[in-house]
C-alpha cells in the first residue's frame, strides 16, 4: 500500500514497557555513535533479525536498503547503502549504535532512529495521523535491536 | 571508524546501478490529445537555485500505461469527474438562485486561474487556495453551503478549473504580501516530522528518482493536481496527498484547508513554477 510505506510497525510489545535488565532508550550511552553494551544482556537471534529487517510491519529496513541475502523479499529501496558486507564494515557496537540512532554516527542522516523516544516534532500514533498517546514507544524493542545487530553481523562479503 | 558522507553515497550509487534499473525519470514527452505538448521538465525557478537545477513533473516517474492514460481525455478517468463538475457549474444552488455560470459564463473563462493559485486576496487579506475561493463564491455570491475541503464536489470542481488551464505554466507569486505565507510553507517543507523524522525534502528533493520500497520517488510536484489515482479510483486533492505523506512519517498530520497546508501548498506550487498545469493527471 503506497500511502503506508512503513505502515503497521507493531507496538504491541511496547505497551509492556521495559523489562528488568534492559537499557531504556533514554539511558543508552553512545560513544562515537556506537553502543558497546548489549541493550538486553541476552544475545540476539540472527534469524529473528533477518525477519525484522525484511518485514514491512517491523524494521522495514529494505524500504531504504537493498540486501542480497533477502532476495526472497520483494522491492528493496535505494535510499541508503546496500547492506551486503555491513558486518565487515562495522563492529557490533557500531551497528547497535547505527540502528538505535543513526543520526549520531551520520549527521542529519535520513535513517530513522529505531531506539529513541524523545525529541520528535509532531510525533504521531503510528500511522493513524493522530497525535501520539500513552502507547508511544521506540520503533523497535531492545531485543529486536539486538536481533537485528546479530543478523547484520552475519552479512560478510 | 568514520565514513564520510561521500563514501556512503558512493556505495548507494553502486547499489542503484546494480538495482532494478528503472530508477531514472522516464525520458518521454507528454502530448495531450495528439495536439498539445506539455512542459513536464524545465529549468528550476530562481528561488530553487543551489537546490534543484531541473524541475520534473510526477508524470515522468510513473509507468508506461499510467503515463499513456493521461495523454488522451477519453482514457483519462479524471475527465469523467470534470464532466460531472461541468454540470454543477451550470446548476443554480443557494438562496441567490445562481450557478457559477451566472457570474462567470462558460467554464473556459477559468483558463489562466489554476496556474496562479494559491494567490493573495487583497480584500480578504489572506492567501487563498482555489478551494477557498470556490467556497467564498458559494457562500457570498450564491448563498450556498460551503463544500467540504477535500469532498467530491470540491475536488471535481478544481479538476474542471484546472483542465481548462492545461498547458499553461504554473506561475504562483511568492513575493509581496504572499511572501510570509511562502516562507512558512518553506519551513514546513524542510521540517523533519514524526517518529521517522522525515521532511518533504528528504524524500522529494534528496531522493527523487530513487526507489523507497516499491515506490519510485518523484519531486512531489503539484502541477498535476487534482490527481486521479488508480489506487483509490477517484480524484485526490493536494492537501489529501500532503496529509498522507506526513502521516507516513508517523506524525500527527495537519488538516486539509488549515493555514499550515495553505502555506505548504503555496510553497510546493512555487517549486513547480514553469511546469505545465496537468490536472487532472493520472498516477498510481
Least confident residue range of A50-64, A83-97, B3-17 = B3-17
Structure confidence at residue B24 as a pLDDT band (50, 70, 90): confident
Q: Is A7 on the interface with B (CB under 8 A)?
A: yes
Distance from CA of A146 to the nearest CA of B (A): 20
Query: Does A41 touch chain B if contact means CB atoms closer than 8 Å?
Result: no
User: A25 to chain B, minimum CA–CA distance in Å?
Assistant: 14
Instruction: Give me B217's grid cell.
Output: 520517488
Contact between chains at A5 and B248 (C-beta distance less than 8 A): yes
Determine the 3-state secondary structure of A15 from DSSP. Answer: helix
Looking up cell 535510499, which residue turns up? A79
Nearest to A77 among B191, B211, B231 (CB): B211
Residues of chain B positioned with their CB less than 8 A from the CB of A6: 196, 248, 250
- Reported as a single tens digit per residue, the pLDDT across A41-71 is 999 999 999 999 999 999 999 999 999 999 9
Across the interface, of A62, A91, A122, the residue whose CB is closest to B252 is A122
Report the phi/psi class of residue A80: left, alpha or beta, with left for phi > 0 and alpha for psi in -120 to 50.
Answer: beta
For residue A2, the model assigns a pLDDT of: 37
% of chain B residues with pLDDT over 90 = 92
- Residues of chain A with Cβ-Cβ distance to B190 below 8 Å are none
CA distance to partner chain A, nearest, from residue B7 (Å): 10
pLDDT tens column, B134-149: 999 999 999 999 999 9
Mean pLDDT score across all residues of chain A: 90
Q: Confirm if B194 and B244 have CB atoms less than 8 A apart.
A: no
- C-beta atoms of A81 and B197 within 8 A: no
Beta carbons of B247 and A127 less than 8 Å apart: yes
How far is residue B62's CA from residue B26's CA, in Å, rounded to a whole number?
8
Condensed to tens digits (0 to 9), the pLDDT of residues B205-221 reads 999 999 999 999 999 99
Give tens-digit pLDDT for A102-114.
Answer: 999 999 999 999 9
CB-nearest partner of B194 from A79, A82, A124: A124
- Indicate whether A122 pLDDT > 90: yes
Judging contacts by C-beta atoms under 8 Å, the chain B residues touching residue A76 are: 19, 211, 213
Tell me phi and psi for residue B156, to 5 degrees.
Answer: -65, -40
Residue A19: what pLDDT? 66
Number of A to B CB contacts under 8 A, please give it.
124
Q: Which residues of B are catalytic?
A: 245
Q: In this complex, is the C-beta atom of A47 within 8 Å of any C-beta atom belonging to chain B?
A: no
Contact A6 B196 (CB under 8 A): yes
The answer to whether the Cβ–Cβ distance between A6 and B248 falls below 8 Å is: yes
Is the pLDDT at A13 greater than 60, yes or no?
no
Q: What percentage of chain B has pLDDT greater than the value 70?
A: 92
Cell of A107: 549527521
Is A157 in CB contact (< 8 Å) with chain B? no
> Average pLDDT for residues A15-40, to the nearest whole number?
87
| B177 to chain A, closest Cα gap in Å | 28
Per cent of chain A over pLDDT 90 is 86
Question: Per-residue pLDDT for B7 more than 80?
Answer: no
Closest alpha carbon within chain A to B244: A3
DSSP states along chain B? ----HHHHHHHHHHHHHTS-S--SPP----EETTTEE---EEEPPGGGTTT-SEEE-GGGGS-HHHHHHTT-TTT-THHHHHHHHHHHHTS-BTTTTB-HHHHH-SGGGGTTTGGG-SEEETTTTEEE-HHHHHHHIIIIII--PPPPTTSHHHHHHHHHHHHTTTTSBP----SGGGHHHHHHHHHHHT--BTTTTB-HHHHHTSSTTSEETTEE------TT-SEEETTTTEEE-HHHHHHHHHHTTTB--PPTTSHHHHHHHHHHHHTTBTBBP--SEEE-
Q: Is A11 on the interface with B (CB under 8 A)?
A: no
Calculate how close chain B gets to A36, using CA atoms only, in Å.
14
Q: Which residue of A has its CA nearest to B196?
A: A112
Residue B282 phi, psi (nearest 5): -120, 130
The reply to whether residue B12 touches residue A81, judged by beta carbons under 8 angstroms, is yes
pLDDT at B56: 98
**CB-based contact B195 A3, cutoff 8 Å:** no
Give per-residue pLDDT as tens, B88-99: 999 999 999 999
Q: What is the ipTM of this complex?
A: 0.90
Average pLDDT over residues B32-60: 98
Q: What is the mean pLDDT of residues B92-112?
A: 98
Q: What is the pTM of this model?
A: 0.91
Q: What pLDDT, in 10s, does the model give residues B188-200?
A: 999 999 999 999 9
The pLDDT mean for chain B works out to 93
Amino acid at each position: 500500500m503506497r500511502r503506508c510505506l512503513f505502515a503497521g510497525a507493531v507496538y504491541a510489545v511496547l505497551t509492556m514497557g521495559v523489562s528488568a535488565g534492559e537499557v531504556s532508550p533514554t539511558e543508552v550511552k553512545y560513544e562515537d555513535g556506537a553502543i558497546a553494551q548489549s541493550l538486553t544482556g541476552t544475545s540476539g537471534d540472527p534469524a529473528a533479525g533477518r525477519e525484522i529487517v525484511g518485514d514491512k510491519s517491523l524494521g522495514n529496513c529494505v524500504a531504504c536498503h537493498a540486501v542480497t541475502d533477502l532476495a526472497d523479499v520483494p522491492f528493496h529501496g535505494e535510499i541508503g547503502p546496500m547492506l551486503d558486507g555491513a558486518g565487515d564494515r562495522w563492529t557490533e557496537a557500531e551497528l547497535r549504535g547505527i540502528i538505535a540512532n543513526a543520526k549520531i554516527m551520520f549527521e542529519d542522516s535520513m535513517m530513522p532512529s529505531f531506539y529513541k523516544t524523545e525529541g520528535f516534532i509532531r510525533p504521531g500514533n503510528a500511522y493513524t495521523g493522530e497525535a501520539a498517546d500513552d502507547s508511544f514507544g521506540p520503533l523497535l524493542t531492545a531485543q529486536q535491536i539486538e536481533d537485528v545487530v546479530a543478523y547484520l553481523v552475519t552479512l560478510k562479503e | 571508524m568514520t565514513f564520510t558522507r561521500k563514501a556512503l553515497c558512493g556505495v548507494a550509487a553502486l547499489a542503484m546501478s546494480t538495482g532494478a534499473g528503472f530508477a531514472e525519470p522516464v525520458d518521454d514527452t507528454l502530448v495531450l490529445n495528439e495536439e498539445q505538448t506539455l512542459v513536464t521538465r524545465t529549468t528550476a525557478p530562481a528561488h530553487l537555485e543551489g537546490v534543484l537545477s531541473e524541475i520534473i513533473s510526477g508524470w515522468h516517474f510513473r509507468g508506461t500505461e499510467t503515463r499513456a492514460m493521461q495523454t488522451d481525455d477519453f482514457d483519462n478517468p479524471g475527465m469523467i469527474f470534470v464532466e460531472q463538475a461541468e454540470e454543477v457549474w451550470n446548476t443554480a444552488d443557494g438562496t441567490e438562485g445562481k450557478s457559477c455560470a451566472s457570474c462567470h459564463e462558460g467554464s473556459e473563462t477559468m483558463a489562466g486561474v489554476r496556474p496562479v493559485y494559491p494567490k493573495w486576496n487583497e480584500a480578504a487579506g489572506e492567501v487563498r487556495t482555489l478551494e477557498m475561493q470556490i467556497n467564498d463564491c458559494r457562500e457570498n455570491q450564491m448563498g450556498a453551503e460551503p463544500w467540504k475541503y477535500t469532498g467530491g464536489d470540491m475536488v471535481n470542481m478544481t479538476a474542471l478549473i484546472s483542465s481548462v488551464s492545461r498547458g499553461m505554466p504554473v506561475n504562483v507569486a511568492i513575493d509581496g504580501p504572499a511572501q510570509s505565507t511562502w516562507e512558512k510553507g518553506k519551513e514546513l517543507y524542510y521540517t523533519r516530522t514524526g517518529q521517522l523524522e522525515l521532511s518533504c525534502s528528504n524524500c522529494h528533493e534528496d531522493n527523487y528518482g530513487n526507489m523507497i520500497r516499491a515506490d519510485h520517488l518523484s519531486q512531489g510536484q503539484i502541477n498535476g493536481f487534482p490527481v486521479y489515482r488508480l489506487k483509490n479510483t477517484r480524484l485526490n486533492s493536494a492537501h489529501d496527498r500532503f496529509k498522507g505523506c506526513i502521516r507516513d512519517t508517523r506524525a500527527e498530520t495537519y488538516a486539509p484547508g488549515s493555514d499550515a497546508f495553505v502555506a505548504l501548498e503555496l510553497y510546493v506550487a512555487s517549486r513547480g513554477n514553469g511546469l505545465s498545469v496537468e490536472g487532472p493527471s493520472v498516477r498510481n
